């Protein structure tokens, strides 16, 4: 019996010692960041619309500013229920709706935003407001009425450095392109004869809508 009591006492001492060790572990020092997010919907189209997105379609990634490594990721903005705890350090935040946006696509706009670099200190509690905006330019195509009666078929190919879209005679959608020079080639087909009309648009900007109009001799651009 004495032996059992001694063993029990040793076990209690060990347990208290283990508890002391757990309690002595210091929490990771850091602060709280609260994220506000808004989307810029300034572009409007007279005969159509820009494909919009909601906040919940945006992904959020937080990067260490020194290592450029991703330290936190949220697939949806709504996954961030409250403030985000970050260790002491310097960071920036990116938001985007597409992880790998296409260089050219119909009905697939690419929205993105990036914060300024910010620091987190022990006990800090700060808000970061992030603006997300369209990173593409937009293109639509229309044909002069004279083409309808004089040609059997017609189409326009709009080519960016890393992708292209073909606008057929029946295509009414808006194309979204990476911000880069665009090569426009109209093919006008009558029987076995193919005529081409070309134009290069070099001064290309994001959030700009390029309305192309094709005649028999030229491609005009209206903004």
CATH 2.60.40 for domain 30-134: yes
* CB 104, CB 178: distance < 8 Å: yes
Structural tokens at position 200? 């290069």
Domains 30-134 and 137-222 agree in fold:
yes
Percent of the chain, pLDDT > 70?
83
Query: CATH says 137-222 is which class?
Result: mainly beta
Q: Give residue limits of the domains in the chain.
A: 30-134, 137-222
Of 2-16, 112-126, 127-141, 190-204, the poorest mean pLDDT is in 2-16
Q: For 62-79, what is each residue's pLDDT tens digit?
A: 999 999 999 999 999 999
Percent of the chain, pLDDT > 90?
76
What ranges in the chain are assigned the alpha helix state H? 2-23, 145-150
Q: What is residue 28's predicted lDDT score, i.e. its pLDDT?
A: 67
pLDDT band of residue 169 (cuts 50, 70, 90) is very high
Residue 90 has pLDDT above 80, yes or no: yes
Q: Estimate to the nearest angstrom the gap between the alpha carbon of 135 and the chain centroid.
A: 8
Q: What is residue 12's predicted lDDT score, i.e. its pLDDT?
A: 44
Residue 11 has pLDDT above 80, yes or no: no
| Residue 196 main-chain phi, psi, to 5 deg | -125, 145
Q: What is residue 23's predicted lDDT score, i.e. its pLDDT?
A: 46
Q: Give Rg (Cα) of the chain.
A: 29
Rounded to the nearest 10°, the torsion over CA 116, 53, 166, 149 is: -130
User: Over the chain, what is the mean pLDDT?
Assistant: 87
Q: What is residue 51's predicted lDDT score, i.e. its pLDDT?
A: 64
pTM for the complete prediction?
0.80
Place of tokens 């919907």: 41
* CB 160, CB 177: distance < 8 Å: yes
pLDDT band of residue 16 (cuts 50, 70, 90) is very low
d(CA 151, CA 127): 60
């Amino acid at each position: 019996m004495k032996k059992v009591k001694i063993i029990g006492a040793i076990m209690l001492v060990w347990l208290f010692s283990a508890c002391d060790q757990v309690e002595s572990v210091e929490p990771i020092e850091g602060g709280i960041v609260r994220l506000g997010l808004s989307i810029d919907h300034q572009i409007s189209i007279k005969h159509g619309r820009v494909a919009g997105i909601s906040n919940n379609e945006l992904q959020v990634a937080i990067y260490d500013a020194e290592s450029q490594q991703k330290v936190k990721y949220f697939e949806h903005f709504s996954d961030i229920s409250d403030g985000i705890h970050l260790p002491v350090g310097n960071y920036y935040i990116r938001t985007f709706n597409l992880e790998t946006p296409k260089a050219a696509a119909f009905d697939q706009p690419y929205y993105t935003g990036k914060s300024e670099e910010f620091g987190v200190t022990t006990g800090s509690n700060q808000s970061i407001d992030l603006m997300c905006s369209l990173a593409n330019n937009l293109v639509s195509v229309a044909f002069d009425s004279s083409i309808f009666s004089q040609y059997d078929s017609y189409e326009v190919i709009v080519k960016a450095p890393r992708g292209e879209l073909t606008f057929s005679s029946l295509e009414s959608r808006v194309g979204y392109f990476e911000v880069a020079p665009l090569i426009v080639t109209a093919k006008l087909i009558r029987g076995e004869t193919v005529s081409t009309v070309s134009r290069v648009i070099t001064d290309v900007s994001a959030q700009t809508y390029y309305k192309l109009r094709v005649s028999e001799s030229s491609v005009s651009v209206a903004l």
